[in-house]
Amino acid sequence: MKLELNSPLDMHLHLRDGDMMKLVAPLSADSFAGAVIMPNLVPPVSSVEEVKSYKIRILEACGDRVFKPYMTAFFKNYTEEELTQLKDYIFGIKLYPAGATTNSDGGVKAMQEAEKTISIMQEMGIPLLVHGESHGFVMDREAEFLAVYRDLASRFPKLRICMEHITTASAVKLLDEFENLCATVTLQHLIITLDDVAGGMLRPHLFCKPIAKRPEDREALLQAALSGHSRLMFGSDSAPHPIHAKESCGCAAGVFTAPLALPRLTTLFEEHGCLDKLQGFVSDNACKLYGITPPVKKVTLIRESMEIPTAYEAHGQKVVPMDAGCVLPWRLA
Amino acid sequence: MKLELNSPLDMHLHLRDGDMMKLVAPLSADSFAGAVIMPNLVPPVSSVEEVKSYKIRILEACGDRVFKPYMTAFFKNYTEEELTQLKDYIFGIKLYPAGATTNSDGGVKAMQEAEKTISIMQEMGIPLLVHGESHGFVMDREAEFLAVYRDLASRFPKLRICMEHITTASAVKLLDEFENLCATVTLQHLIITLDDVAGGMLRPHLFCKPIAKRPEDREALLQAALSGHSRLMFGSDSAPHPIHAKESCGCAAGVFTAPLALPRLTTLFEEHGCLDKLQGFVSDNACKLYGITPPVKKVTLIRESMEIPTAYEAHGQKVVPMDAGCVLPWRLA
């Protein structure tokens, strides 16, 4: 049994840089025709030069694989002139509340400060991609941020706003209130809850931001994905950290899923009898929402078992994937 | 500046066995006049012989320190004859729902099965100590279990029931509904919330069961302790694991606090201007509730800085304490 996906896209991806990028970029390029590349390097990617050179490094790491990096810039108060320069080199601009996640210290401290730039982005048609979390209690952060999305969506009706890596039933609900809102959801948030992270043993390789939420949240996300919600897209938020940064006294946030994302998603959609909705979720929805045409790339999955490696290692880097050592019924051809 | 505590007690303590016990038992005996010793060894402590021999091993590990181990037996469906034999050797019986925490697989699967034994315990005046968590979603487990406490407290009005290591505002509230309910609370649950465990980096050394809850829960616990609630007692639930079982891909539940508990509690009560309530919290409340008379032991704290070691090591064991490397303004004399 085979499943052919046309130009699958990962609409939210962390490739890092240097040796880590050399390890993980080819793994994404083996599965996907393209990905939206997050800009939270140190320092963040925020100028034309940085975008261009990061893109070149990514393409070099991918070798001869067909893979289009949709570059983003780290949100700051860009002037109209800066945005005019950036526009042709980026897919969108990623806004982080300051301190919300890995390497986001330079993020936005108060949304009011960001409005002028957001207004110009709307005029120029540059999508706004948002890490939507408040600085409140960890289980409430996304829900508390929804008021910001509501405010942005109503005041900038022509702005394409993406709620990145949503994790709550409330965010799914909000998606239906505003046509200009769309969202990405990760693999892990369709599968796990806080119980999997901290209900039995504490499992650092399932720890990410936003943190996995309640069963009813997971269920709402899953139903939206399986039902083919047209404004919900797959974005892995695959976020590698070296093993020593995960299995230590202070574990960094991020789940590494890139190399198993498509086999695991195929398994999930098959389990629920919704394989026909997978193409939309991993590509078509994004193409329609953003008006993009990714490189032509057929990715074939076959129904043969795949044992997820206990770790991926190369270039002196070692990263443990989600579900390390588990066996999936599907694998990439 | 000095503070003298009379016979401080730790009403909920895990000492483990073997080399780990040899490392941690003296640390508890340096601070406390006695402690209620949890029975969740492998296999669990549940016969007179096991209780007696475990007690001897603990006393040997404590050397010449004044320290009384209040022994407990692991709940099972004891007959009247078994309870009659056990009675003189134990302080109480600890009930674990099966699988709720470390080494609790042999726990109670359905409360109905336990009622006959509980009824005999009531007649004999043996306290019932309970790990009160359901098998539900991790943040709801204690709240869901409160119905069981309510049921037990109303149906066994003469049974002394201790809600061990409570973590929620709802449990604090329940305490006031039934005279026969009392509770222990740990050091960490007076201080941390889930934000400290998983809101920034994931911090395995703050991971325990029940997991730390919401800010309003922590606040309710703290206010109950600081106000001198007469049925609330200090129970550290200090639960050492070897460092490799904490900083790994599956981190065991338990926070090791025994050697810093009194200095940290003193700091906390001083910060809130409630030092006068500390003696009750760490000893007098327990003595009155259970009618016990611990060994006479003055424990003096002095207001000089204590740097918490990054780890405690001996007998081939290495354990990382809470707040490793931090400095407290109080230390044991």
Average pLDDT across chain A, whole number: 97
- pLDDT tens figures, B13-51: 999 999 999 999 999 999 999 999 999 999 999 999 999
Q: Which residue of B has its CA nearest to A99?
A: B200
Q: Which residues of A touch B202 (CB under 8 A)?
A: 202, 204, 207, 250-253
Q: Which of A197, A199, A252 sits opposite B201 (nearest CB)?
A: A252
Q: Which residues of B touch A207 (CB under 8 A)?
A: 198, 202
Range B147-162 average pLDDT? 96
Q: Rounded to an integer, what distance in angstroms lies between the CA atom of residue B55 and that of residue B72?
A: 10
Among residues B170, B201, B302, B190, which one has the least CA distance to residue B255? B190
Residue B88 pLDDT exceeds 90: yes
Is A211 an 8 Å CB contact of chain B? yes
Predicted local distance difference test score (pLDDT) of residue A3: 98
Tokens of B307: 């740097």
Is B76 an 8 Å CB contact of chain A? no
Q: Which of A205, A214, A249 sits opposite B249 (nearest CB)?
A: A205
Range B118-127 average pLDDT? 98
- pLDDT tens figures, A171-209: 999 999 999 999 999 999 999 999 999 999 999 999 999
Predicted local distance difference test score (pLDDT) of residue A133: 96
| Residue A14 backbone dihedrals phi, psi, to 5 degrees | -105, 120
The amino acid at residue A45 is V
pLDDT confidence tier of residue A103, bands split at 50, 70 and 90 = confident
Residue B108 pLDDT exceeds 90: no
CA diameter of chain B: 53
Tokens of A85: 């320069």
Predicted local distance difference test score (pLDDT) of residue A111: 83
Predicted local distance difference test score (pLDDT) of residue B155: 95
Q: Rounded to an integer, what distance in angstroms lies between the CA atom of residue A222 and that of residue A306?
A: 23
Is A214 an 8 Å CB contact of chain B? yes
Residue B106 pLDDT exceeds 90: no
How many helices (H) and strands (E) are present in chain B, helices listed first? 12, 15
The amino acid at residue B155 is R
Predicted local distance difference test score (pLDDT) of residue A71: 98
A169 CA: distance to closest CA in chain B (Å): 16
Average pLDDT across chain B, whole number: 97
DSSP B231-275: TEEE---B----HHHHSSSSBPS----GGGHHHHHHHHHHHTT-G
| E-assigned strand segments in A112-252 | 128-130, 161-163, 181-185, 232-234
Residues A198-237, buried b or exposed e (16+ Cβ, 10 A)? bbebbbbbbbbbbbbbbeebbebbbebbbebbebbbbbbb
- Residue A86's CB: how many other CB atoms inside 10 A? 20
Range A210-220 average pLDDT? 98
Contact A43, A106 (CB under 8 A): yes
Predicted local distance difference test score (pLDDT) of residue A99: 79
Residue B319 pLDDT exceeds 90: yes
Q: Which of B138, B139, B204 sits opposite A249 (nearest CB)?
A: B204
Three-class SS state of A32: coil
Residue A109 pLDDT exceeds 80: no
The amino acid at residue A319 is V
B7 CA: distance to closest CA in chain A (Å): 34
Determine if the pTM surpasses 0.90.
Answer: yes
What ipTM did this prediction achieve? 0.95
Q: Which residue of B has its CA nearest to A247?
A: B248
Q: Rounded to an integer, what distance in angstroms lies between the CA atom of residue A257 and that of residue A262?
A: 9
Range B270-282 average pLDDT? 98
pLDDT confidence tier of residue B99, bands split at 50, 70 and 90 = confident
- % residues pLDDT > 90 (chain B): 94
- pLDDT tens figures, B230-255: 999 999 999 999 999 999 999 999 99
Predicted local distance difference test score (pLDDT) of residue B103: 79
Helix intervals (H) in B130-236: 141-155, 169-175, 194-198, 215-226
Side by side, the strands of the sheet bearing A331-332 are A2-6, A298-302, A331-332
Helix intervals (H) in B45-168: 48-62, 80-86, 111-124, 141-155
Residues B289-313, buried b or exposed e (16+ Cβ, 10 A)? bbebebeebebebeeeebebeeebe
Specify the DSSP element, H or E, that contains A239. Answer: none
Residues 6+ apart with CB under 8 A from A80: A120
- DSSP bridge pairs for A233: A184
The amino acid at residue B99 is G
A203 and B247 within 8 Å at the Cβ level: the answer is no
Catalytic residues of B: 237
Peptide bond into B210 cis (omega under 30): yes
- pLDDT tens figures, B175-205: 999 999 999 999 999 999 999 999 999 999 9
The amino acid at residue B292 is I
Q: Which residue of B has its CA nearest to A199?
A: B138
Predicted local distance difference test score (pLDDT) of residue A218: 98
Please tell me which residue in A217, A237, A284, A323 is annotated as part of the active site.
A237
On the 0-12 / 13-18 / 19+ scale of CB atoms within 10 A, A295 is: exposed
- Residue A319's CB: how many other CB atoms inside 10 A? 28
Q: Rounded to an integer, what distance in angstroms lies between the CA atom of residue B263 and that of residue B187?
A: 11
Q: Rounded to an integer, what distance in angstroms lies between the CA atom of residue A165 and that of residue B112?
A: 44
Residue A327 pLDDT exceeds 80: yes
Residue B74 pLDDT exceeds 90: yes
Range A234-245 average pLDDT? 97
